[in-house]
Structure 1
């Protein structure tokens, strides 16, 4: 195989082919089926993309996709956790229906129906590169190379289709792109439409930047979110979490403050991670971090000062990892342009969920609150599609599978629970579009101690039920309280809203056949 530069084998991003359906009934169908390039990152939140939010950083290549296509302003996930989110995406089903509810208890049943399998059966050539994270080997792909588990940032291992594992030298974001471009250039059958899935490890914890970007953003000072020092009044589950920047962000593992005689819970894991560096990389790493480490321990910070210091380092590290990601999105766009593929290819960029950048004092995801349930979704559309700008309808990651199948001219199976986004991509405004979204999170007890919960979100309100070792209900008025600081479930003024939202919750639980959650709803109404 030929690779540009030093390439690590990784799960190739599946390029999904879209069928020759026109954006408007007034136009002729494209004579050639559409290709799909699906780029998904891990934990990349909309706050850290300048096409969504200009407060923090510039992402010019991601912005190219949005500027040339569409930006979904109400895009959400069904279960804000890496593996379950991926299972929802490829099956078009909620977690209870596809069987992969959390990262700790099971492997994904790869024998079940998935969107890549159906595309392949219909004549598409499918590929997957990068993070799989479903505890079983991929199926339904003509080509794949994946990271074991979470994968590593530096000189990572890749599992290949013959089930051997190889280590490749380089930075993981660059390597995944290298492998994907190599497949597009040298490995695919050019007589077939393609669907390639590029699944990046970035921007996952613990935010290890490309060596050349170590010094970036060091002069930036970030404003604290208004609710950084949230006291979680009236929100029992929020108070019980273990994802606080102040209390739970590991000073060595997360913030790289490794020094002789200093200990932390995750120190040994961090030492293994940076142990993958070459001597040259480690020298550059130590040259950059040693002065910061010395300064940090000499200051003996505590309390709010320590929390604010941790926040600043977290934000800088996160941005450095996004910088490499954005650069590599640019590489893909430039390659497709050079090869004349842009006009006949749908390019999708999204993440497996959102992430907290200090809101409520947190990092990580899991909760049904806005920053983690919401996920970025931008698309560059093929030439036959006129739609540009924002799409405001409520969409969810269970919608991707039926959308890709619909565009490819493949019948969408009746048991898929998502909705094809094709009408929205055509510029239509369906009157019967969904008015609410269903969410269910299962992974507890586990890392970060986020209680199990399910709920419903409309354009104005959100109702959540935390269950298992807790029985707590929360209601938020998203128009008056967009940062979800005030639980108004017990407020008499919202009695009719509670009634309406619970009826909608029950309706969705019945529609999606989540019988377990339905059985827990003591306010269930006939």
Structure 2
């Protein structure tokens, strides 16, 4: 009998380790770039028909797989980029800090060496950590495959620092851009030659699935950051012609000569776009969204087929939005809703009930402390600017409607804003304060700041904004004029 003790002991230890591994939830983050909320069915369902159909009645792209994440989990109605530009938003998400504290307050500025990401924290807690896709936190290197500084993501072979390449190829030594240069030296995407193996979205999802297959029997954290639907607006077949039947109307808020517009809208050298909406560009944008959704379906099926659904936290979010011609502007960088507000949906069957809605406002600074809280990871040794909102996600309530004011900022110190579930106050040295009532005026066309009925609301938001600006070292405060 004595000779069996080592075997029994080893077996007990193995079972104990196995149970510990099973207790740890997996984390899978699907992250897109410059993604307009109106192209996601789950978010259109939270809007009036007028808001959901900004480009015309039934001019929509269906996203059943993205919608499934919301239907089987929680949808956050008011999640904002701390700064609606790629690098600073990503920096906040990774660290739980405001951009100015990370070394990356504007695009192409690298993270400080000493910042700690959620990837590092999870790695230190026994997780296999991987990052696939666009990173944009290692400075100006372009494309910058597999940066030397990993920030806790031990598997980063498929990490791309920056650039929106449409075709990728894997070689023995790593990943390369599979596009040719034109006469001007620009990398050109040939839609006729790129397929479901080489198109970047598909390529990255294939690699993510490969990593998940390798790591499925141990606790894992994988972040998949898809560069689309950021421009250039091109997608592979059959998505490139899938929406040719649609005709896009100009948004109601399209700028017209003489319209009253905040001073912070007209950036230096950037005038309002008064040209007709580009039909093909919009159709291609829809195609990119549909391609993303189909690939999300592949990922969800993998989790289902491998019995990983229950214990895997699946998150879908984006770094910032895309105005897509609203207010006469394209892209991002402004405090308008479709620039600054992003999708945030989370599914975790073990702890979070289905069909849950959180109306309370959050920002990307809340991501790291909240996700660590949901996962039960001790974060007492770390300092975050964001809040740990795990209790809001795991509570039994179907709707969380408590109010909270978050502070968001512009990467170039042009404006700052205080936002809650209904109101938004924007202050800037280039104009008087603007106060939006997002319930009464969801198009964000009316300034209620000087309306006597809104005096107390304006005061409350200012009283909440300025202490946050001071606490988080907002650069605009030092420049004065606000």
Number of residue equivalences: 419
1:489 matched residue in structure 2:
449
Contact residue 41 and residue 200 of structure 1 kept, 8 A: yes
Q: Distance in 1 between matches of 2:163 and 2:170?
A: 11
What TM-score do the two structures reach when normalised by structure 2?
A: 0.80
Contact residue 244 and residue 283 of structure 2 kept, 8 A: yes
2:243 matched residue in structure 1:
217
1:407 aligned to 2:374? yes
Contact residue 36 and residue 195 of structure 1 kept, 8 A: yes
1:207 matched residue in structure 2:
233
Q: Distance in 2 between matches of 1:111 and 1:519?
A: 25
SS of match in other structure, 2:280: helix
| Aligned-pair CA distance for 1:81 | 0.6
Q: Distance in 2 between matches of 1:477 and 1:402?
A: 29
2:35 matched residue in structure 1:
44
| Aligned-pair CA distance for 1:339 | 0.8
SS of match in other structure, 2:264: helix
| Aligned-pair CA distance for 1:343 | 1.1
Q: Distance in 2 between matches of 1:96 and 1:345?
A: 32
Contact residue 100 and residue 473 of structure 2 kept, 8 A: yes
* Superimposed CA distance per residue, residues 336-371 of structure 1 (whole angstroms, 9 cap, x where no aligned partner): 111111111010001111211221122101111111
Change (3 A) 1:129 1:376: same
| Aligned-pair CA distance for 1:224 | 2.5
Map 1:351-362 to 2 at 5 A: 351-362=318-329
1:66 aligned to 2:70? yes
What TM-score do the two structures reach when normalised by structure 1?
A: 0.73
2:100 matched residue in structure 1:
96
Map 1:18-417 to 2 at 5 A: 32-53=23-44, 55=53, 56-104=60-108, 106-135=109-138, 137=147, 138-144=150-156, 145-155=158-168, 166-167=176-177, 170-186=198-214, 188=215, 190-230=216-256, 231-240=258-267, 246=273, 307-308=275-276, 310-412=277-379, 413-417=381-385
Which blocks of at least 5 consecutive residues in structure 2 are unaligned? 1-19, 45-51, 54-59, 140-146, 179-196
SS of match in other structure, 1:455: strand
Tell which deviates more after alignment, 371-380 or 431-440: 431-440
| Aligned-pair CA distance for 1:464 | 1.4
Contact residue 461 and residue 478 of structure 1 kept, 8 A: yes
* Superimposed CA distance per residue, residues 421-477 of structure 1 (whole angstroms, 9 cap, x where no aligned partner): 32122125699966201011123xxxxxxx71112112332221223xx35432223
SS of match in other structure, 2:320: coil
Change (3 A) 1:191 1:431: closer
Q: Distance in 2 between matches of 1:178 and 1:241?
A: 41
Q: Distance in 1 between matches of 2:306 and 2:400?
A: 39
Q: Distance in 1 between matches of 2:166 and 2:385?
A: 35
2:193 matched residue in structure 1:
none
Contact residue 119 and residue 408 of structure 1 kept, 8 A: no
Contact residue 93 and residue 365 of structure 2 kept, 8 A: yes
Contact residue 72 and residue 378 of structure 1 kept, 8 A: yes
Q: Distance in 2 between matches of 1:63 and 1:234?
A: 34
Change (3 A) 1:452 1:232: farther
Which blocks of at least 5 consecutive residues in structure 1 are unaligned? 1-28, 248-306, 444-450
Q: Distance in 2 between matches of 1:177 and 1:368?
A: 31
Contact residue 74 and residue 352 of structure 2 kept, 8 A: no
Change (3 A) 1:408 1:494: closer
